[in-house]
Chain A
Amino acid sequence: MAFEAYDPEDFYDELFLALGEPRSHCASLIQRMVELGIAQLEQQRQTAAIALFKLGVTFNVYSDNQGVEKIFPFDIIPRIIEGSQWSQLEQGLKQRIQALNLFLDDIYGAQKIIQDGKIPAEIIYTASGFLKPCLGIKPPAGVWCHITGTDLVRDKDGSWYVLEDNLRSPSGVSYVLENRRVMKSTFPDIFRNMMVKPVDDYPSQLLETLLNLAPAQVPDPMVVVLTPGIYNSAYYEHSFLAQQMGIELVEGRDLIVADGYLQMRTTKGLRRVDVVYRRIDDNFLDPLAFNPNSLLGVPGLMEVYQQGRVALANAPGTGVADDKVVYAYVPEMIRYYLGEEPILSNVPTYLCWRESDRNYVLANLDKLVVKAANEAGGYGMLIGTRSTEAERAEFAQKIIAQPRNYIAQPTLSLSRVPTLIEGKVEGRHVDLRPYILHRGDEIYVHPGGLTRVALKKDSLVVNSSQGGGSKDTWVLNSINN
């Protein structure tokens, strides 16, 4: 049967305490799934997959003109987070985003944190996401990272860690909304009994955040989503968000700088654009300011931005804090800017440019996870415990050649969630990406977020490009609210 034989083994399991013993807040879900039986669950999984494909919830695997789209595999056993646990995460995320935003404002402004010796200037200036043209810019309400998708993981003992902050343009929120839509139609009765926090509010919250950036004197601001185009892997999401917010989805070629403003080409002439939710990397935004070969961006956009005539979300330059060396300083930032102790911990991180750390890393490559400071998506990474001698030697060389570019972390044994795999329920590792919106006077944390699951047995890599899938994430309302 479905869950009787399910063994959490030696991992933190999000739904089970031990063999045959669900966590109390998950009991009614498990009971309902046991009642349905494995055949029924498998059938529901297929129905859900078809529904998602029909909705066109797809990502592109590679770019060619044949338009190859795949659906992000979806597992129907949800991940559940208890209400009280969630409020703690929420507090931790708000604190962290607030500090990161103050850091960005500082680093492109007075740079007090460097002067006070909390972080070396060299680290900042060598971070690939640091953009000199952004020095001295004052974005509206002092907000730089409007939309963040923080990656969280849990270790064996169940404690939460921040893995990455993703302050540039995190994707995946469309899956959160579409997964929920499918789950609600698949298991309506479970929803009725479980008091799951709804997620449908995200597009309104996002639109609110974006409208907030428009100059006060503009009565009816024009807000757009800027996409690299249909070949981008997250194009579906760009189109989905534009549709849900009821705003225009534009490409670089739709925009032009004219008369000192950003304008879009419409059938009735040029029309001014006030706020851009851009899903294009910093370096491609403006060929005049950054990568001159970019065809995706808009020549002259940065100048208009610097003059405060258009707002960009996120602000260019936020990538500096996505550097994994800078990441290691976030707990320090929280103490420095807020005078508080961090609520959420970092994964302990060894910085290879420090000699003592480097020596430790080189001596323990077989136990650590080594990551390139500027890569994302699970690339440029060595998982020591699964590596060969040759791979370790290769990474040792890289580390010695460019110590600034590498960090190492202990191997966490990520928490697991029961997952339907070929007609059986098996434990699979997961992470969690909640979405946080910063509006200046208020920080909003979207309840839940995207749970990504490594569908390959024992795999720790949850990225969609490398065999990952997703699950619906249920945050339960606390009994007393």
Chain B
Amino acid sequence: MLSRVADSIYWLNRYIERAENVARFIDVNLNLILDLPSGVPPQWKPLIAVTGDIEQFDHNYSEVNSENVIQFLCFDSNYDNSIISCLQKARENARSIREVISSEMWEEVNSFYLAIKEASAASSFGTLPKLFSRVKMASHRFAGIMDATMSHNEGWQFGQMGRLLERADKTTRILDVKYFLLLPSAEWVGTPLDRIQWIALLKSASAYEMYRKCQHHITPGSVAEFLILDRAFPRSIHFCLWQTQQCLHEITQTPPGHWCNGAERALGKLCSQLSYLTIEDIVQSGLHEFLNQMQSSIYQVGNEIHHTFFALGDSQRALSNQSSNNLQLQSTSNTQASSA
């Protein structure tokens, strides 16, 4: 299939998944704020910190408060990773491959975008929870429609890869929120407030109920273990990357365990590593450091996919607007050239 078409369907899915996850981690913070004991101020900075786009925020906003953070992450069309920007780009990608995807998929993306655009004009603090659940549901609906109306062909596999890779990346960030989320002091570790934060975190990954089925206690180690290493939970990093790998090998027809391009090699290495890690290994090396490392590995996989499948031929003409995308990676400069 055309590289551009593969690229568009991959990014169509990534952007929708990204919009969903942005809604998820704002939602978790909203929930937390409502549960804070009196005297503990609400924290909005962690949300920006975890995106890695704090510089851009500081440049355009004078103060970190709920209004600004929500405007920035949801409705700021100058910010590439806001919900509205993601949906706009998702729609544009969908539009350029309408003859490839099913018309139901197009209709869903189109109405998703229009609904959020409309909501952005009339949002208030009180309507936000409803908005976020709409974003999540629309994203699930899109995934379902794609699954049920499009042939599971090469294009579909690219779309799946996009969604899963994005989800893996966002799960690392949701976990990392806790690192930035300061407790008033060290004495608070292990208190109900600490526990409430971990629960909120699980909920934002829709993981609380599934977690409870395998763990009785909420401990930092077991929450992290669940979201990183669980093999059955569909938002855990290991699960997402494992599935991504399956899609990749479906596309290339390379037998499992072998590789013949950079994408297969990078992803294969990452999956093998996760298969044999324990949570103790992770905690020992530092959870935050591990997550950072994971983000840059996932970024690397995305890069390899881009070079293997999308950026064929001369390197002068970047293939599409998304190739310049900053994958919200902290401390990684945005190096790829933007396209003409």
A residues whose Cβ falls under 8 Å from a Cβ of B: 54-56, 65-67, 229-230, 239-240, 242-243, 248-251, 253-254, 256, 258, 264-267, 269-270, 295
Chosen A-B contacts, 9 in total, with CB atoms closer than 8 Å, are A56-B98, A65-B92, A67-B92, A250-B2, A253-B319, A256-B313, A256-B314, A267-B154, A269-B312
Majority secondary structure of chain B interface residues (helix, strand, loop or mixed) = helix
Complex interface: chain A residues within 8 A of B4 (CB): 250-251, 253-254, 265
Query: Is residue B149 within 8 Å, beta carbon to beta carbon, of the partner chain?
Result: no
Distance in Å: Cβ of B249 to nearest Cβ of chain A: 14
The answer to whether A243 and B6 touch across the interface, beta carbons within 8 angstroms, is no
Distance in Å: Cβ of B262 to nearest Cβ of chain A: 14
Residues of B18-53 at the interface with A, using a CB-CB cut-off of 8 Å, are none
Residues of B280-318 at the interface with A, using a CB-CB cut-off of 8 Å, are 309-310, 312-314, 317
Question: Given the complex of chains A and B, what is the CA–CA distance between A240 and B158 in angstroms?
Answer: 23
Closest to A295 in B: B340
The answer to whether A56 and B1 touch across the interface, beta carbons within 8 angstroms, is no
Question: Given the complex of chains A and B, what is the CA–CA distance between A295 and B316 in angstroms?
Answer: 13
Majority secondary structure of chain A interface residues (helix, strand, loop or mixed) = mixed
Question: Given the complex of chains A and B, what is the CA–CA distance between A54 and B103 in angstroms?
Answer: 9
Evaluate whether A266 and B92 lie within 8 angstroms (CB atoms) in the complex, with A56-B98, A253-B319, A295-B340 already known: no
Question: Given the complex of chains A and B, what is the CA–CA distance between A342 and B309 in angstroms?
Answer: 55
The answer to whether A270 and B312 touch across the interface, beta carbons within 8 angstroms, is yes
Complex interface: chain A residues within 8 A of B158 (CB): 267
Evaluate whether A65 and B96 lie within 8 angstroms (CB atoms) in the complex, with A266-B2, A267-B6, A267-B251 already known: no
The answer to whether B2 and A56 touch across the interface, beta carbons within 8 angstroms, is no
Query: Is residue B118 within 8 Å, beta carbon to beta carbon, of the partner chain?
Result: no
Residues of B97-133 at the interface with A, using a CB-CB cut-off of 8 Å, are 98-99, 103, 106-107
| Size band of the interface chain B makes with A | 20 to 34
Residues of B63-116 at the interface with A, using a CB-CB cut-off of 8 Å, are 88, 91-92, 95-96, 98-99, 103, 106-107
Query: Is residue B3 within 8 Å, beta carbon to beta carbon, of the partner chain?
Result: yes
Question: Given the complex of chains A and B, what is the CA–CA distance between A162 and B2 in angstroms?
Answer: 41
Complex interface: chain B residues within 8 A of A265 (CB): 2-4, 312-313, 319
Question: Given the complex of chains A and B, what is the CA–CA distance between A248 and B4 in angstroms?
Answer: 11
Question: Given the complex of chains A and B, what is the CA–CA distance between A56 and B107 in angstroms?
Answer: 9
Complex interface: chain B residues within 8 A of A239 (CB): 98-99
Question: Given the complex of chains A and B, what is the CA–CA distance between A239 and B96 in angstroms?
Answer: 8
Distance in Å: Cβ of B162 to nearest Cβ of chain A: 13
User: What are the 6 A-B residue pairs with the smallest beta carbon separation, nearest first?
Assistant: A243-B99, A265-B312, A265-B3, A267-B309, A239-B99, A256-B313
Question: Given the complex of chains A and B, what is the CA–CA distance between A229 and B319 in angstroms?
Answer: 13
Question: Given the complex of chains A and B, what is the CA–CA distance between A66 and B154 in angstroms?
Answer: 29
Q: Which of A67, A230, A267 contacts B3 (CB 8 A)?
A: A267
Closest to A242 in B: B99
The answer to whether A253 and B317 touch across the interface, beta carbons within 8 angstroms, is yes
Distance in Å: Cβ of B325 to nearest Cβ of chain A: 16
Question: Given the complex of chains A and B, what is the CA–CA distance between A69 and B92 in angstroms?
Answer: 12
Complex interface: chain B residues within 8 A of A269 (CB): 312
The answer to whether B88 and A65 touch across the interface, beta carbons within 8 angstroms, is yes
Q: Which of B88, B106, B309, B312 contacts A56 (CB 8 A)?
A: B106
The answer to whether B2 and A254 touch across the interface, beta carbons within 8 angstroms, is yes
Question: Given the complex of chains A and B, what is the CA–CA distance between A267 and B4 in angstroms?
Answer: 9
Complex interface: chain B residues within 8 A of A295 (CB): 340
Evaluate whether A267 and B1 lie within 8 angstroms (CB atoms) in the complex, with A56-B106, A67-B91 already known: yes
Closest to A249 in B: B99
The answer to whether B96 and A229 touch across the interface, beta carbons within 8 angstroms, is yes
